[in-house]
Amino acid sequence: MRPWVLISGDFVDTGGMDRANAALARYLAQQGIPTHLVAFRADPQLLDRKEVTFHRVPKPLGAYTLGLPLLDRLGRRVARRMARQHRARVLVNGGCCRFGDVNWVHFVNAAWTPQSHRAGFRRAVGRFNHRRGCRDERAALTRARVIIANSRLTAAHITQWIPVAPELIHTVYYGVDRSRFFPLAEAQRIDACHELHFPPDRPLFAFVGGLGDRRKGFDTVLAAWPQISGRIDGALLLVIGSGSEAAAFARIVEDRGLSSSIRFLGRREDVHRVLQCCHAMVAPTRYEAYGLAVHEAICCGVAAIVSRHSGVAERFPRDLEELLLEDVESPGELAARVISWWERRSRLAGALSAFCEELRSRSWEDMSREITQIAQINAPNEG
């Protein structure tokens, strides 16, 4: 049985692409396939499996900026050895490692220029990382034998920005952990709210995402929130995430007298439990290759008001298109769509339930099986 080498930053269940990477590694190990992980971090339970060998990459000063060159170097070393000696399959993420076998693209650096409001050194580091990310993904993708994109949007961005043949690209959607992301009955939702100290009798909205470079659009949400909370009595926004601007956003909330209707939760390990308590999610993302948080919210039975220009939006059925934002820079449009959904939520409940079941029907195992089949058919590794 040919081993696999997976090269990425992290294989953990706390982030979008990290969760997908961990799911693929877990699937390979469950099939009894020797699996080598080259990364900064990996889930301890994954590393306990006898099929998994971990090649840890150091991250000097805890900085990805300093660690990424080391990831590329060790990744290529392990990949070359395993491919030569054991005819291993090698999968890398985007530009993290310049080894030409299977490349799984979760994010196209060239399609998004970070809009940082930081100054001085941090802004310079951000610009450096972006330029390096664009350079590295171009170098890695032009070496790939086969490319896996997480959405049709990602596939289109790859062909727009990177000189690769379109026939090399295959779109494979994410799966979901059905044992965690599922709707609760109302009595169960109330119990969950009490457990997490949320008011069950108030309309609860979620925002999930980083509070750093403004890609996730929290500034748009914040600008729209007075209008939303003014029309939806008792509305409470639960903000899950952290970042360099979190403290500044918290000060704005306090200065504008919004503290009673916006609660910052920081990073959470129980995102699924928070989502199960909520009625809707707001996600006016400026760039989103897919949008796993939206996907998982819908799997919890939560409506999602999301950018039409995100990858996950291409999966929305026609009868829920009114939840898709045309202009993510417009607080007025976001507020109008949230308020419209709230007023029409009972009419849209059936369509949302059907969409929830459709997304929940595809597991992480289904996704992983599809990736390995595409790799087997389209990218024979000749060592």
Q: How far apart are CA 21 and CA 26, in angstroms?
A: 9
- Residue 333's contacts (CB-CB under 8 Å, 6 or more residues apart) are 325, 326, 327
pLDDT for position 118: 61
C-alpha neighbours within 13 Å on the C-beta side of residue 49: 22
Amino acid at 202: R
- Phi-psi domain of 329 (left: phi exceeds 0; alpha: psi -120 through 50; beta: other): alpha
Q: What is the pLDDT of residue 381?
A: 46
pTM of the model: 0.94
Note the pLDDT of residue 117: 63
Q: Which residues make beta-bridge pairs with 266?
A: 240
In the prediction, which pLDDT does 378 show? Answer: 66
pLDDT of residue 14: 83
Alpha helices in 162-265 (DSSP H): 186-196, 218-231, 246-255
What is the rounded distance in angstroms from the CA atom of residue 177 to the CA atom of residue 156?
27
CA atoms within 13 A on the CB side of 126: 16
Both structure tokens of 348: 């849209």
Q: Residue 364 belongs to what H/E stretch?
A: helix 364-378
Q: Tens-of-pLDDT digits for all 383 residues of the chain?
A: 899 999 999 999 987 899 999 999 999 999 999 999 999 999 999 999 999 999 999 999 988 889 999 999 999 999 999 999 999 999 999 999 999 999 999 999 999 988 766 666 667 777 888 899 999 999 999 999 999 999 999 999 999 999 999 999 999 999 999 999 999 999 999 999 999 999 999 999 999 999 988 899 999 999 999 999 999 999 999 999 999 899 999 999 999 999 999 999 999 999 999 999 999 999 999 999 999 999 999 999 999 999 999 999 999 999 999 999 999 999 999 999 999 999 999 999 999 999 999 999 999 999 999 999 999 886 454 43
If you ran DSSP here, which 8-state letter would residue 184 be given?
P
State the pLDDT at residue 383: 38
Q: Are strands 204-208 and 280-283 parallel, antiparallel or unpaired?
A: parallel
Position 1 scores a pLDDT of 83
d(CA 236, CA 234): 6
